[in-house]
Structure 1
Amino acid sequence: MKPIGIGIIGAGRIGRLHAENLVRMSGVRIVAISDLFPDPAREWAAGIGIPKVSGDYRELLRDAEIDALLICSPTGTHVDIITEAAEAGKAIFCEKPVSLELERTYAAIEAADRAGVPLQIGFNRRFDPNFRQVKAYIEDGRIGDVHAVKITSRDPNPPTPEYVKTSGGLFLDMAIHDFDMARYLSGSEITEVYAMGGVLIDPAIGEMGDIDTAMISLKFANGAFGTIDNSRKACYGYDQRVEVFGADGCLTADNEYPNNVRVFDGTGIHGEKPKYFFLERYSASYVREIEDFLAAVRGEGSVPVQGRDGLQAELAARAAGISLREGRPVKISEVIDSLKEASAT
């Protein structure tokens, strides 16, 4: 069988991570990678066997050897690239979020649908082995009907103000993973969001118009409830935990650690901090999400995280922003209605 030809757009941290995972997979080859600043990437690319580095992503769209594209460029570029890639007939994997504007996200999803090409969104946490096991137990009925989902998601250190300025804010940049995880574990759509937040860590983040700490309450269509606890700084490391409570029991997934050795001595009980940040914590899930994307490209089923999943998470993020500003619960239907009204005018 002919190997799947891959093009990667964006040679930053996440683009390089995907490339380094792909070169270890069978039945696939990286044809080219593009970046606005191609020269710094050339030595790295040559070192892992990528034959071509371009400064123009459209060269990858025109390349007949490329069957699928991974979009790892800045968020503001996603919609245009998705639209052009769909028109070129390429299968598409796009990092989250699809865009910072819901209207444009709708447009990107419609472009992929019109072209009939797969579009997978990079919600890698769904592919974490422990979170997947929690989901499997839920689907097997181990805890009965889900009543509550609790998600803790705290970064080890806050981002720079420069990053915050273009990130879309905590809800779109950070909590969007948690909105998706809440939908995934609850097995239901979010219907209402109530968000509280503030600047408790870095005043510079507040000066950029963002927050660094949030508590978010959710309601789901199936009657369950959810909470998300976000912080931009946990001094003890990257804190990623979930709990799902149901009619017949409870499921939890803890942090991952470099090792699980504990030292018991006269000063107390000591162990390692959680794995430092997302590249280490979710290394296995990054591999699995691309494996599943490649399976869909081969025609072995549909992509596991579709454009619609990206949209639903963005709707929740928009609702959270409104809730924070106005100090009230906001229904997802309200956000959708406002978009319809805006498009009609």
Structure 2
Amino acid sequence: MAGQISEQGGGAVPGAGIGLAIVGCGTIGRIRAELAREHPALGWLGLCDLDDDLAAALATDTSADFVTGDYRELLARPEVSAAIIATDENEHVEPVLAAVERGLPIFIEKPLATDPVRSAAVLQAIEDSGVDAVVGYTQRFRRRFLAARQRIHDGRIGDVTTVVTRAFMNRMVPLATLARTEQRNGLTPMVVSGTHSLDVCLWLLDGLAGKDPVEVYARSDDRVLGDLGTLDTTLGVFTLADGSLWSMNINWALPTVWPGSVYGLEIGVVGTEGILDIEDTHRDTILAAEQPLGGGYQPKGFAPGAPRHVDFFGSYPPGDLHDGRLWGPMREETTTWLNRLLTGAATPHATARDGHRNLLLSMAMDLSARTGAPVRLPLTPQELT
């Protein structure tokens, strides 16, 4: 499927605003496209997905100017001046490299790749080309984390000695993610979802002396999701270069009826002169209803399999709906990126190097859990394959 949809869009030409290509029209691609369409600087919008119906529906809803099932065709369009890669986790590499070849600024949903060697190759291509590439780590745009990072870097709690991280996730995410692919070997709770809490912790400490991880020891369990080819939970302890300790724990096998639609996160940061205790579990606003509630993580073709009667507002990471529009951190993340394209201003987005680092560290946790032994860091991508 390919073609102009000029009757629905503005038919913009290069130089008349941002020409945005979005590869992948699923849950996140749809959100990004709808938010981008609201931006006054968007001049042209092109979409790509292998699912013709999915792409066509989004094209209609966003008045897209062009739609196709071939990412190469889309990224080669002369109108395109920036790209968002929002395909499934295993399918990022080729469209990213195609966008790099054209020299386009890119927003990449994490990870760069699910294979560490390919991730390194993507990072090398990005850095060699000099393109501006960011990776989607939406937690960085939650105000509580932005404020916490500022306080830490202002020295309000002194030198950080301990970080404690706990992530609880509804199993709807692994059930839906694994159903879309047979390539499940690298789709662990840490690689797919724990990477978000790992990233935000490293970002809180970014630039502080002695806070690079030098060792990790982890353990895992798979009693609930093992038959589907993934783990339930991974718990680990990182030792940082200055001897500080950081525990990083995730379980993404909570029942589908758990009120958290996706993510509940707690982070404690202890310093020599104070503490930051950050609760991002979303239990401050709770809806309970006799009739089953919609929402949660429900991409096309997936249903949770059990009615949900209680919901923690805000536990869907992109944000919450009001009057058909999404409000929350993904709006700020997407809009800030579009503004970055226009002004060149520095933003909190994760870099491609951050994304590659996060993959290696999450895979190092998985390696330690498999071997039952501590793993010295850093590791090369080859050591993790």
Q: TM-score, normalised by structure 2?
A: 0.78
Question: In structure 2, do the counterparts of structure 1 residues 186 and 219 end up closer, same or farther at CA, with 3 Å as the change threshold?
Answer: farther
The 5 Å alignment of 1:31-180 reads 31-158=45-172, 159-160=174-175, 162=179, 166-167=183-184, 168-180=187-199
**Is structure 2 residue 331 aligned with structure 1 residue 287?**
yes
Question: In structure 2, do the counterparts of structure 1 residues 37 and 260 end up closer, same or farther at CA, with 3 Å as the change threshold?
Answer: closer
More displaced 10-residue stretch of structure 1: 159-168 or 142-151: 159-168
Maintained 8 Å contact 2:214/2:376: yes
The CA deviation at 1:127 is 1.4
Maintained 8 Å contact 1:120/1:306: yes
Unaligned 5+ runs, structure 2: 1-14, 288-309, 321-325
SS at match of 1:6: strand
Q: 1:241 aligns with which of 256, 259, 266?
A: 266
Alignment correspondent of 2:300: none
Q: Distance in 1 between matches of 2:43 and 2:112?
A: 25
Alignment correspondent of 1:4: 18
Maintained 8 Å contact 2:19/2:42: yes
The CA deviation at 1:103 is 1.0
SS at match of 2:328: helix
Q: Distance in 1 between matches of 2:373 and 2:237?
A: 11
Maintained 8 Å contact 1:156/1:276: no
Alignment correspondent of 1:278: 317
Question: In structure 2, do the counterparts of structure 1 residues 179 and 276 end up closer, same or farther at CA, with 3 Å as the change threshold?
Answer: closer
Q: Distance in 1 between matches of 2:269 and 2:181?
A: 31
Alignment correspondent of 1:305: 350
Alignment correspondent of 1:314: 359
Maintained 8 Å contact 2:116/2:384: no
Maintained 8 Å contact 2:318/2:328: no
SS at match of 2:318: helix
Q: 1:189 aligns with which of 205, 208, 212?
A: 212
The CA deviation at 1:76 is 2.4
**Is structure 2 residue 246 aligned with structure 1 residue 207?**
no
SS at match of 1:26: coil
Q: TM-score, normalised by structure 1?
A: 0.86
Question: In structure 2, do the counterparts of structure 1 residues 142 and 293 end up closer, same or farther at CA, with 3 Å as the change threshold?
Answer: same
Alignment correspondent of 1:330: 375
The count of corresponding residues between Structure 1 and Structure 2 is 330
Question: In structure 2, do the counterparts of structure 1 residues 76 and 141 end up closer, same or farther at CA, with 3 Å as the change threshold?
Answer: same
The CA deviation at 1:225 is 1.5
Q: Deviations over 1:191-217 (max 9, x none)?
A: 2221111024x2xx2124421122111
Q: Deviations over 1:150-171 (max 9, x none)?
A: 2221112342253585452122
**1:97 partner amino acid:** P
Question: In structure 2, do the counterparts of structure 1 residues 326 and 31 end up closer, same or farther at CA, with 3 Å as the change threshold?
Answer: same
**1:207 partner amino acid:** D
Maintained 8 Å contact 2:285/2:312: no
Maintained 8 Å contact 1:19/1:30: no
Higher helix content, 1 or 2: 1
Maintained 8 Å contact 1:256/1:274: no
Q: Distance in 1 between matches of 2:181 and 2:219?
A: 19
Question: In structure 2, do the counterparts of structure 1 residues 68 and 329 end up closer, same or farther at CA, with 3 Å as the change threshold?
Answer: same
Q: Distance in 1 between matches of 2:133 and 2:271?
A: 33
**Is structure 2 residue 22 aligned with structure 1 residue 25?**
no
**1:232 partner amino acid:** W
**Is structure 2 residue 243 aligned with structure 1 residue 223?**
yes
Maintained 8 Å contact 1:257/1:272: no
Q: Percent same amino acid at aligned positions? A: 26
